[in-house]
Structure 1
Amino acid sequence: MSIKTLYQSKITTAEEAVRFIEPGEVIVFPINPGEPPALLAALPTNQKLTGNSLYRMLPGYPLLETGPEIIKQVSIFLSGQDRKAFSEGFSDLLPNHFSDIPALIKIASPAPVIMAAVSPMDENGYFSLGTSVSYVGDLLKDAKSIILEVNQKMPYTYGEQNQIHISQVTALIENDFDLPTLPEPILNDKDTKIGQTIAELIQNGDTLQIGFGSMPNAVMEYLKDHRDLGIYTEMLPDKVVDLYEKGVITNANKKIYNGKTTATFALGSKRLYDFMNKNEDILMLPCQVSNDLRNIAQLDNLVSVNSTVEVDFFGQCNSEVIGGKYYSSTGGQADFAKGVRMTENGRGIICLYSTAKNDSISKIVPMLSEGSVVSTSKNDVDYIVTEFGKAELRGKTVQGRTEALIKIAHPKFREQLAFEATKRGFLPKKNFFMI
């Protein structure tokens, strides 16, 4: 049977496609732009579903309204679409390091159902996962069923475990839709100052991992005069396109994936997705490869940039809980915080605003808030950056860390922080008025 004939034999409607899913099976969606909206909407039409689970990360579409006894919805990383549902007990959350997600899903089901939006099939019969190989790539070989939503607007990308052959496909539908996008972040004065400080820590020839959010991405505004930078990251951000066009990114110094920008998912603008389409300079890697400590360790001069919610005097970073409520997840922050320390001349940077709620709350604190979690260990932090500068923690004692962190706290809180540090024994009394 020819590839085209095989393709035609797999085409069906969304309602018919979801009928291949049996009760109790685990269903997995790729990240955000890789989600299949028509198949998602059709899932409740399968009346035989019961005891099923649906795993999603950074969903681009609202959660299903089916009850958890029919489809239990599990978040892999809380965001706007599922944060409220989790806080109300309507959905669940899977704690994880990004690198571990495929293995954790396999515990729930060694043979899950994969449902994904993909690029059109190429002449050899392969679809591409496009923007979102992430944790899905490693699950394909053992999948019980693979159900695809073919979208002409999904970029065809290259990489590892990033292609699906038509012979692997259980069913497919065709549905052309605009991929979810992120608006370009509006940088405030704090972002600008943080971006400038971090950019000063980046040297020509370095390789970058840039995390999620406006603060980490602000640094890319100040790299336009750098040269021969490399990208080895999780999320591919929009600003990469600007740096490519200016000749800043060459990936010339990477010991692995030399000459290639690597990521595990992309989320940004249509301009970014168009840039990725059939671009051989970009390799999309599964997360257990992109975030593998053994791979990260091979990248000399790696700079890892991520954000957090609060930092205590030990250097512990809570990047997930705000006001005692879960707001986000660990993602790959800990993977890279640990991995960058294994590299030659690596630098791990965690950034945050010094305050919250109109400067009424300090985000540098003596101890993490009640109900918080430690996303990044005190032992895995090199630099903390706020709009007031940088604190280098690596190699410093508790007293040294405390003093450095108070110096980059908001000035209105420094005296109180110094008082608390002295009371707790984190600073000697003779240094109290020297902060």
Structure 2
Amino acid sequence: MNTDKEKDIQAILDLIENDTDIIIPLGNGEPDQILTAIDENPHQFQSLRIHQMLELKGRNYMNGAYPHIRYFSYFMNSFARKAYLNGNCELIPNHFHQMPKLLELTAKKPLVVCQASPMDTDGYFSLGTVADYAAYFIGKVPFILQVNEHMPMTNGQNRIHISQILGFLTHNQPLFTIPAPPITEIDIKIAEHIAERIEDGSTLQVGIGGIPNAVISLLKNHRDLGIHTEMLTDGISELTKAGVITGKNKNTHVGKIVATFGFGSKDLYDFMNQNEQLEMLPVNYVNDPRNIAREDQMIAINATTEIDFYGQCASETVAGRYYSSTGGQVDFGTGVQFAKNGKGFICMRSTTKNETISRIRPILAPGSVVTTTKNDVDYVVTEYGISQLKGKSLSQRTDALIKLAHPKFRDELLFEAKKLGLII
């Protein structure tokens, strides 16, 4: 096998031309050594633009240290969030499934730089824990790889041949892991309302957090569930090992777990390695609402930070300040609407700040950004119950949401509803 494409770090930097748009995958697709080298050798370049959805590490270029290197975020983790709030990085609004097309639009001279598994005997590397938007560009634009023996070799449309890359370097380091968030009593109460509405044979999209974990924990007696999700989690791997997830009733990718990235523990990454049941596919396919809608009994479970009486969900701002971005919430919220017997759940704890602020509000906090619109919201869930807003009038929605609020805020919310003329 031709290995003259293996380079040292300086040779890798030399492959990056000036005025390049560097596309970095999210999460563990991030090539730490290469990005660190760019950060430590900024004057090797006259102009770079770096595009990424979810970063793992803070870097100087992210914080505006080098005016000739600009950082564009598409979904902020804590480091990009701080940089954005300080005015040092750009945030580009997007639906996750549109990321490849947006990058084609914004990247004048694209180059994908990412982490990958070691090459197999046929000359293929795997993007491992990700397919996301990076896999879309395989065979379309140049790639540079950071090969890491800890990256799982996964199946799907995220494999790239050595003939399709400019070069690679080897840098082994453990993958970034995230601990399972603790499940609280409130999480369980919310999850119970959702779990009892999930039928055997349903196909699930679940995310990260205490509530999704709680939902997963309540599905151990279900049968023949399927998975079509943007994010693969530890809970999904555990249900699969327990025989709950078989995918036998899916209409597409029968018997397969479909995801576009995985994020969790080392056990999850071991589960992903060489798993023939798993298909890692590009996000423009996985999150396309038209593909989501092809699954009967499709279930989408997402969270929001606040909701108003109209049913508008602000899921990417907190108290009117940007916290993250849209991600795949609208992709799946739209897809389930067109799926036969599809259900979309927006869940949240009823209060925040030690029960001093209601997440259910007459109107959203000033500066809030609407993620899921009033026309697209389906079920809303708190620890105090569940209500389907779809098909309800504004006054009916208001009444239903007040009943989902913490009891200490209900009188105040009712008073405000009457002031707004939403309840007579």
TM-score by length of 1: 0.95
Separation in structure 1 between the aligned mates of residue 97 and residue 234 of structure 2, nearest angstrom: 23
Are positions 1:148 and 2:145 aligned together?
A: yes
One-letter code of the match for 2:319?
A: G
Kept in 1: contact 2:150–2:174 (CA 8 A): yes
What residue is the counterpart of 1:51 in the other structure?
A: 47
- Structure 2, unaligned runs of 5 or more: none
One-letter code of the match for 1:52?
A: L
Kept in 2: contact 1:56–1:74 (CA 8 A): yes
Kept in 1: contact 2:56–2:77 (CA 8 A): no
- SS of 2:19's equivalent in the other structure is coil
Kept in 2: contact 1:15–1:39 (CA 8 A): no
Q: Percent identity?
A: 46
One-letter code of the match for 1:40?
A: L
One-letter code of the match for 1:67?
A: A
**Following superposition of structure 1 onto structure 2, how do residues 234-253 of structure 1 map, counting pairs within 5 Å?**
234-253=230-249
Deviation string, structure 1 residues 185-218 (Cα, Å, up to 9, x no partner): 1111211111121111111110000123222232
What residue is the counterpart of 2:335 in the other structure?
A: 339
Q: Which moved more, 1:207-216 or 1:149-158?
A: 207-216
Q: Which moved more, 1:335-344 or 1:212-221?
A: 212-221
Separation in structure 2 between the aligned mates of residue 388 and residue 17 of structure 1, nearest angstrom: 55
Are positions 1:178 and 2:174 aligned together?
A: yes
Kept in 2: contact 1:111–1:142 (CA 8 A): no
Q: How many angstroms does 1:141 deviate by?
A: 2.6
Q: How many angstroms does 1:67 deviate by?
A: 2.8
Separation in structure 2 between the aligned mates of residue 273 and residue 110 of structure 1, nearest angstrom: 34
- SS of 2:236's equivalent in the other structure is helix
* Aligned equivalent of 1:159, options 156, 159, 169: 156
Separation in structure 2 between the aligned mates of residue 110 and residue 282 of structure 1, nearest angstrom: 34
Are positions 1:306 and 2:299 aligned together?
A: no
Q: 1:166 to 1:375 in 2, by over 3 A?
A: same
Q: How many angstroms does 1:50 deviate by?
A: 2.6
Q: How many angstroms does 1:95 deviate by?
A: 0.6
What residue is the counterpart of 2:123 in the other structure?
A: 125
Q: How many angstroms does 1:21 deviate by?
A: 1.1
Kept in 1: contact 2:257–2:277 (CA 8 A): yes
Separation in structure 1 between the aligned mates of residue 380 and residue 46 of structure 2, nearest angstrom: 47
* Number of aligned positions between the proteins: 421
Kept in 2: contact 1:10–1:172 (CA 8 A): yes
Kept in 2: contact 1:95–1:329 (CA 8 A): yes
What residue is the counterpart of 2:262 in the other structure?
A: 266
**Following superposition of structure 1 onto structure 2, how do residues 33-432 of structure 1 map, counting pairs within 5 Å?**
33-44=28-39, 45=41, 47-65=43-61, 67-143=65-141, 145-160=142-157, 162-428=158-424
Kept in 1: contact 2:19–2:109 (CA 8 A): no
Q: Moved runs in structure 1, 4+ residues, more than 4 A? A: none
One-letter code of the match for 2:117?
A: S
Separation in structure 1 between the aligned mates of residue 356 and residue 395 of structure 2, nearest angstrom: 25
Kept in 2: contact 1:211–1:305 (CA 8 A): yes
What residue is the counterpart of 1:25 in the other structure?
A: 20
Q: How many angstroms does 1:46 deviate by?
A: 5.5
Q: How many angstroms does 1:51 deviate by?
A: 2.6
Kept in 2: contact 1:216–1:351 (CA 8 A): no
- Tell me how large the CA RMSD over aligned residues is: 1.2
Separation in structure 1 between the aligned mates of residue 347 and residue 123 of structure 2, nearest angstrom: 44
Deviation string, structure 1 residues 258-280 (Cα, Å, up to 9, x no partner): 10000000110000000000001
Separation in structure 1 between the aligned mates of residue 59 and residue 208 of structure 2, nearest angstrom: 22
Deviation string, structure 1 residues 32-55 (Cα, Å, up to 9, x no partner): 111111111111325331331111
Are positions 1:12 and 2:7 aligned together?
A: yes
- SS of 1:378's equivalent in the other structure is coil
Kept in 1: contact 2:320–2:369 (CA 8 A): no
Q: 1:111 to 1:251 in 2, by over 3 A?
A: farther
- Structure 1, unaligned runs of 5 or more: 429-435
- SS of 1:62's equivalent in the other structure is coil
- SS of 1:279's equivalent in the other structure is coil
Kept in 2: contact 1:118–1:128 (CA 8 A): yes
- SS of 1:341's equivalent in the other structure is helix
Q: Which moved more, 1:346-355 or 1:389-398?
A: 389-398
Separation in structure 2 between the aligned mates of residue 402 and residue 235 of structure 1, nearest angstrom: 32
Deviation string, structure 1 residues 104-141 (Cα, Å, up to 9, x no partner): 11111254111111011111111001111101111233
- SS of 1:305's equivalent in the other structure is strand
Kept in 2: contact 1:77–1:331 (CA 8 A): yes
Kept in 2: contact 1:126–1:164 (CA 8 A): yes
Separation in structure 2 between the aligned mates of residue 63 and residue 230 of structure 1, nearest angstrom: 39
Deviation string, structure 1 residues 124-160 (Cα, Å, up to 9, x no partner): 11100111110111123321x3110111110111112
- SS of 1:158's equivalent in the other structure is coil
Q: How many angstroms does 1:15 deviate by?
A: 2.3
Kept in 2: contact 1:263–1:285 (CA 8 A): yes
- SS of 1:311's equivalent in the other structure is strand
Q: How many angstroms does 1:68 deviate by?
A: 4.7
- SS of 2:365's equivalent in the other structure is coil
One-letter code of the match for 1:115?
A: V
Kept in 1: contact 2:20–2:108 (CA 8 A): no
TM-score by length of 2: 0.97
What residue is the counterpart of 1:432 in the other structure?
A: none
Kept in 2: contact 1:15–1:46 (CA 8 A): no
One-letter code of the match for 2:116?
A: V
Kept in 2: contact 1:63–1:82 (CA 8 A): no
One-letter code of the match for 2:129?
A: T
